[in-house]
Amino acid sequence: MRPLYVTREVLFLTLRDASRVVIPAPWAMRYVEPAFSGGLGAALCLAAALGNAKRSVVVMAIWDAKNTARRVSRALGGGMSYGVIQWNAGSGTLAPVLSAMRSADPTSFKAAFPASSNYNALDSALTKGNSGDLYNWAVNQQATNASGWKAPFQNLARIQAFKDIQVATAVRERHQHVMAMIEFLRSLSSDLMKNVELVSYCALFDVAVQQQSLKPAAEAIKSRVASDHPTSQSALVRIAVEERAKAAKHVYVADCMSGRIGIIQQSPFSYTAYGQTSQRTNVNFNLISQDAHAYVCKI
């Protein structure tokens, strides 16, 4: 079984229509950005390079993402989310990303926000590092600037330096979460998790994007492992992602389950829970099939 070497790059394919995403063979590029539009239906791909210096193949697991701003229900306490992995104002994950953009190019960052955006309130919230103020700013903009509150974020999405910040932040943050999940699974079965398979890393990265960690499902995972006695890494990881999906808010359980199992089997998977049915799919599932059970080096 040949190893895979994960780079620190992330391949973001952000197209208006995810069904049109095509990665050309031999996938020799480390970073591709065919059409960063910030449009709906964008596809987010984690890129890993195969560990053969003569064959710098880029393959990867895919999950859904949108590099756009969207309203988040007040009942969920989000206010708004933005970016390729939808950092959230209410949870405190969005402020550091926006602050990094502002620090990198204050002039361009400010210019993205027209007068109707009440930039001074946003600037104050970021300076204070106060997620509550950022949440209030977002909710106020949605109420008083309904037709234009998304425009500044579309402007930010067109600036290369800010797109690079999103890439760097996403891979740094989520890789750390994946490693924490891997260590947890190793505590349950060090033999099965000795070498981490590509498909396992991809499925856990999807957990990191949507739910950050396995902690809310830790006891359920332990219980199922004790009763099911998984004999392969795939079986162990499937238990982990299934139990974590079940621990999501009811409205998201079906989506989480469909996405994770789709990655594991590299084909669409339909799931129904709490009155919701989801079948997440992506035309690039096949990209990981040839290397699904190769292992990721240095993990």
Confidence (pTM): 0.66
Residues pairing with 49 in the sheet: 5, 58
- Confidence label for 22 from pLDDT (cuts 50, 70 and 90): very low
**Residue closest to 58 by CA, chosen among 15, 12, 26, 101:** 26
Least confident of 126-130, 159-163, 243-247: 159-163
Distance of CA 101 to the CA centre of its chain: 19
**Angstrom distance (rounded) from CA 41 to CA 19:** 8
Quick: pLDDT tens for 191-230: 999 988 878 888 888 888 778 899 999 999 999 999 999 9
Q: What is the pLDDT of residue 116?
A: 93
Instruction: For residue 163, give the 3-state DSSP assignment.
Output: helix
The two beta strands, 3-5 and 295-296, are: parallel
- Confidence label for 294 from pLDDT (cuts 50, 70 and 90): low
The residue ranges of every structural domain in the chain are 3-65+161-271+283-296, 71-156
The residue with tokens 């930039």 is 119
Q: How far is CA 167 from CA 45, 189, 196, in A?
A: 11, 32, 23
Q: Which residue has the higher pLDDT, 172 or 265?
A: 265
Instruction: For residue 13, give the 3-state DSSP assignment.
Output: strand
